[in-house]
Amino acid sequence: MKTKIEGRKLGFTQLKLLVLTFCICETVFFIEVGSDLNEILIFLFILMPPLCFILLGKKWAKWVASTLLVLNGLFLFFGGVDMGLILLEVIGVINLVIAIAFHTLPSMRCVFDKQYVESSQEKEKSQSENEEFDYPYLSSRIKASAIDGLVMGAVLILILQLFSNGENGLEIFIFFSIITLVYEPILLTLYSATIGQRLMGIIVRNNADFTKRVNLFRAVLRAVTKYTLGWLSFFTINLNNRHRAIHDFVGDSIVLNLKSEEEEKQSEKVILME
């Protein structure tokens, strides 16, 4: 049983790396060809949903995503050959390799095999019933995200005031993007919560051990997924016992309610004793 669980964890780790590699490649592609907003939105609506469900271990999503990846890979490869762009050929090949890996890596069987999935779900359900932790509902998490959005909006206004000559659009975009990207990961790594989450009385912890914070790498993966998918990332909250969003699955995190100030202080003491 332990071997099966370890195999499933390895499978999900490799799956996350494959999806992350794909997202990086597509970002490079958009930059290289100068894609407009409409093309990017079409990509998000067609390719990202099945990739999100893949991270939940859905077998049908594996077939849909791998088919789309093969088509996308062939399109990029032959497009690169036609335009003489080696970079597009490389990205096309990477797409094909990722699609093949979904079906050929041994650890993928632990992710998509029905027997493994049902066993894992039963274990999680049993653990949830025996735990005393309280998981926040969708409304609380949306409110927390809205507060964080207001915070980042205030930061953007400040940046615009500092660069008020109107000739630094690219610099403003890069600077604000960096701040947005590091805001949540750093706060989660240091304090287990962003400003919005703290005000709403919720914290983010390591899914494998609730007494530990998420590490920086997982916090970054979590934030990138959340920013990329937007509100779509919250779609799975009401579909599992622990109310985990898609970015929680990617970052291997869990969101908990802090029922009282004493519980929060006790939780912080546990972390300080690590």
Residues 152 and 114 in one domain: no
Q: Which of 71, 96, 130 is the last residue of a domain?
A: 130
Torsion of CA 235, 5, 98, 19, to 10 degrees: 30
Residues 255 and 189 in one domain: yes
Which domain does 145 fall in, by range? 138-272
* Prediction pTM value: 0.52
Considering its fold, how many domains does the chain have in total? 2
Residues 96 and 149 in one domain: no
160 CB-side CA count, 13 A: 6
Please, are residues 105 and 11 in contact by the beta-carbon 8 Å criterion? Answer: yes
Q: Give the pLDDT of the chain (274 residues) as one tens digit per residue.
A: 445 556 677 777 788 788 888 888 887 887 777 766 677 777 777 777 787 778 777 788 888 888 988 998 898 888 888 888 888 889 899 999 998 988 888 888 777 776 555 555 555 555 444 445 688 888 889 999 999 989 888 888 877 776 666 556 666 777 777 788 888 988 898 888 999 999 988 999 998 888 888 888 888 888 888 888 888 888 888 888 888 998 998 888 999 987 644 454 555 555 555 5
| Alpha-helical runs (H) found in 34-168 | 37-54, 59-83, 86-104, 108-112, 114-130, 138-162
Give residue 34's identity as a one-letter amino acid code.
G
Cβ neighbors of 186 (< 8 A, separation 6 or more) are: 216, 219
Residues 166 and 259 in one domain: yes
The SS3 of residue 44 is helix
What gap in Å lies between CA 129 and CA 141, rounded to an integer?
A: 22
Residues 73 and 172 in one domain: no
Residues 68 and 84 in one domain: yes
